[in-house]
Each structure stands twice: as structure tokens, then as C-alpha cells.
């Protein structure tokens, strides 16, 4: 637990800890304002959205749910209760007004609030895209992941059958091919993946985070430096597609989180649930990687997604909000985070 310094605004500390939440391409789409003492308003940063890859802001809202969960956990560590009102300006429809807050958080000092045991995992959780070891996960550990949150309305499914790996890998490879087929989508991905430029930045991720081994990273950098731009893009696409198949094929288990529908509040709550699963995995020494290309809203994936849902036994009436692989892997470098000052407006 990190304690607030005397005179420090507790809200800055809590926002800093919430910033460790995952987001698509590590875009860190959060923006906060402090409109009154003890209050935090959370917004979508309009400069950090993915209009091509996430046109309906579903993944962005899931990231905001993860941020809210982290903030609530961090507040408990400091003896505060969070009173969270989602969409305080009114319930949104299909379209979001980015000038309206996603949530309003009021911090209330409460000496009866209990620390969340996942608080220690806030500094541990990171996404590992490396191949996972061929080691099974105990039923007890899988149960702990499933019990990480209240599953009443947002259940988590788990599949640990090794025979399913190749089938799931094929689904994810097909989805990755379709996602990268759109030039606008691929350019958007590259804008947060500086694989041919300086990787010392506070958002996105580079070759060191893709899951390549050190020798593979070296040769990939060398090859991209020597190739003309049009061949460089083709090589990078081929590399990412191969990685998607390899990543899926080396999972010890797969997990998914579904909701009854696809309302905005369900997307937020799915993000909160997923973050608790990810933090629990980190506390157990497990690696976890979202593999959401199969959930993309880009044209051409819907039929594959329906077939994929049928393979997993998910009812057509439910919406898959997150799909991820679980296993054991070597440590990887953490992706960077922007300073708190960049988040507060």
C-alpha cells in the first residue's frame, strides 16, 4: 500500500494507482477532473480513442471499468469509501457524448471500510504476450479466478481442455487477418505500436511487449530497418498474425466474460469484473492476455464470432465482452504509463 503524503491531494494518489489498469493498445483513454473537494469526474479522453478499431467505444468503456475498479481498491487502502455514480448526466444510447462524464466518484472517509486483498496486485498486474509454458492450472486456481467478483449478472467461463487450443488458435488467427485487412485499422494500430521508431514513450507498446523472444526481436528490428516501407508493413502483419496463433496455442486455459446484453453500463461492469480477474491472476503468479480480436466490430468478423460463440457454448442472447488466455510465462517488461498530470484536466 502506498500512503498519501501529508498535504497531498488523495485524489492524485488514487488516480495514479488506477492508471495501472489495462486498455486497448495501452492507449490510456482516461481523463479526470476534480470539480469539487473529494470528487472525481471520469471522462473519455477524445484524443485517445480508436475510431477504426473500436468505433463504438466498447473496448474504451471496458478500460474505464477497469480504471474504476482500481480506483475503488486503492481508495479502500487509504480508508475511503467510493460512492460511484455511472453516467451522471444521463444514460447513453448507442452514441456516446464525450463531453459527458462516464462516472462521478465521491470519496468518503470511512474507518469501517475493509482493505481489498487485491490491493497488493495493483503494482503486479501486466499483460504477458509471450508463449505460455505447457503447465496446467490447478482447478483451485481457476476457481479463485472465477470467484474474483460477483458473477450474478456477468458470469465468467473457463476452458482448459488442451484439445481446444488449435481450434481457438484458428479462430483468433482468422479474426486477426480480417482486422488487419483494413488499412485504416492497421494504421491506427501502428500509431500506438512504435516498432520502427523510438519506443521510449508513455503509451502504446513496442516490440519488447509483443511476446517475441530477444533473438526474434533483434532480427525483426533488423529486417524492418532493411525492408522498404510497403514490405515492412507486410512483414509486421505476418509477424502479428503468427504471434496471435502461437499465443492462443500455448494457453493453459481460456476465459471469457459475458453480459446479458451490450448496454454501456454492462460494458463498464464487465471491465470492473475483468480487472478483478486480472489482478487475481497476478496475485496467483499467473499470466493473462486479452485476445479480443475475435470481438472486434470491424466488418467480416461477425460470422466468425457467432461460430466461435457456438464452439464455446455461449448462448446467442449473450454478449462476449472479454476473451483472454491464461497460463504461466516468464516475466515481461511492464508497459509505461503517462504521468498523473497528463490525466487531470
Confidence of residue 20 (pLDDT cuts 50, 70, 90): very high
Confidence of residue 331 (pLDDT cuts 50, 70, 90): confident
Model pLDDT, residue 205? 85
Angle at 335 between CA 203 and CA 124, to 5 degrees: 135
Fold of the CATH domain 139-327: NADH Oxidase (3.40.109)
Dihedrals phi, psi of 5, to nearest 5 degrees: -75, 155
Domain boundaries, the chain: 10-124, 139-327
Of 195-204, 236-245, 303-312, the one with minimum mean pLDDT is 195-204
Quick check: 13 pLDDT over 70?
Answer: yes
Of 78-87, 117-126, 158-167, 197-206, the one with minimum mean pLDDT is 197-206
| Residues 275, 121 contacting (CB under 8 angstroms) | no
Dihedrals phi, psi of 178, to nearest 5 degrees: -65, -45
- Alpha-carbon distance 15 to 41, whole Å? 11
Q: Cell triple for residue 74?
A: 486503492
The string of pLDDT tens digits covering residues 83-98 is: 999 999 999 987 899 9
Q: Do domains 10-124 and 139-327 have the same CATH topology?
A: yes
**Rg, the chain, Cα only:** 20
| Residues 281, 339 contacting (CB under 8 angstroms) | no
Confidence of residue 1 (pLDDT cuts 50, 70, 90): low
Beta-strand pair 30-33/287-290: unpaired
- pLDDT, mean over the chain: 92
- Listed in sequence order, the residues at least 6 apart from 139 whose beta carbon sits closer than 8 Å to its beta carbon are none
Beta-strand pair 319-327/287-290: antiparallel
- Alpha-carbon distance 130 to 219, whole Å? 17
The string of pLDDT tens digits covering residues 182-209 is: 999 999 998 998 765 555 678 998 778 8
Model pLDDT, residue 295? 96
Q: Looking at domain 10-124, does it have CATH number 1.10.287.1400?
A: no
Quick check: 252 pLDDT over 60?
Answer: yes
The string of pLDDT tens digits covering residues 22-61 is: 999 999 999 999 999 999 999 999 999 999 999 999 999 9
Confidence of residue 254 (pLDDT cuts 50, 70, 90): very high
Q: Is 183 helix (H, G, I), strand (E, B) or coil?
A: helix
Amino acid at each position: 500500500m502506498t500512503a498519501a503524503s501529508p498535504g497531498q491531494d488523495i485524489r492524485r494518489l488514487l488516480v495514479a494507482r488506477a492508471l495501472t489498469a489495462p486498455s486497448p493498445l495501452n492507449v490510456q483513454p482516461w481523463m479526470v477532473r476534480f470539480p469539487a473537494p473529494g470528487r472525481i469526474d471520469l471522462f473519455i479522453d477524445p484524443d485517445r480513442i480508436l475510431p477504426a478499431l473500436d468505433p463504438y467505444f466498447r473496448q474504451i468503456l471496458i478500460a474505464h471499468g477497469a480504471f474504476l475498479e482500481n480506483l475503488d481498491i486503492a481508495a479502500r487502502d487509504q480508508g475511503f469509501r467510493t460512492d460511484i455514480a455511472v453516467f451522471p448526466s444521463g444514460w447513453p444510447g448507442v452514441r456516446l457524448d464525450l463531453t459527458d462524464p462516464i462516472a462521478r466518484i465521491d470519496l468518503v472517509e470511512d474507518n469501517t471500510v475493509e482493505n481489498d486483498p487485491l490491493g497488493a496486485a495493483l503494482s503486479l498486474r501486466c499483460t504477458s504476450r509471450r508463449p505460455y509454458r505447457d503447465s496446467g492450472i490447478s482447478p483451485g486456481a481457476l476457481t479463485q479466478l472465477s470467484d474474483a467478483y460477483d458473477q450474478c449478472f456477468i458470469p465468467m467461463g473457463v476452458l482448459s481442455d488442451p484439445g481446444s487450443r488449435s481450434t481457438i488458435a484458428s479462430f483468433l488467427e482468422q479474426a486477426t487477418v480480417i482486422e488487419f485487412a483494413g488499412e485504416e485499422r492497421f494504421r491506427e494500430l501502428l500509431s500506438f505500436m512504435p516498432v520502427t521508431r523510438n519506443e521510449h514513450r508513455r503509451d502504446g507498446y513496442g516490440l519488447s511487449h509483443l511476446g517475441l523472444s530477444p533473438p526474434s526481436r533483434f532480427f525483426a528490428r533488423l529486417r524492418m530497418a532493411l525492408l522498404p516501407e510497403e514490405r515492412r508493413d507486410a512483414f509486421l502483419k505476418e509477424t502479428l498474425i503468427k504471434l496471435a496463433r502461437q499465443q492462443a496455442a500455448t494457453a493453459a486455459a481460456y476465459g471469457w466474460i459475458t453480459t446479458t446484453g451490450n448496454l454501456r453500463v454492462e460494458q463498464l461492469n464487465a471491465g470492473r469484473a475483468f480487472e478483478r480477474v486480472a489482478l487475481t491472476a497476478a496475485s496467483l503468479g499467473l499470466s493473462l492476455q486479452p485476445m479480443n480480436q475475435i470481438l472486434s466490430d470491424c466488418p467480416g468478423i461477425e460470422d466468425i464470432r457467432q461460430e466461435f460463440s457456438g464452439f464455446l457454448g455461449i448462448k446467442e442472447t449473450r454478449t462476449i465482452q472479454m476473451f483472454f488466455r491464461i497460463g504461466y510465462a516468464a516475466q515481461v517488461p511492464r508497459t509505461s504509463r503517462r504521468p498523473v498530470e497528463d490525466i487531470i484536466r
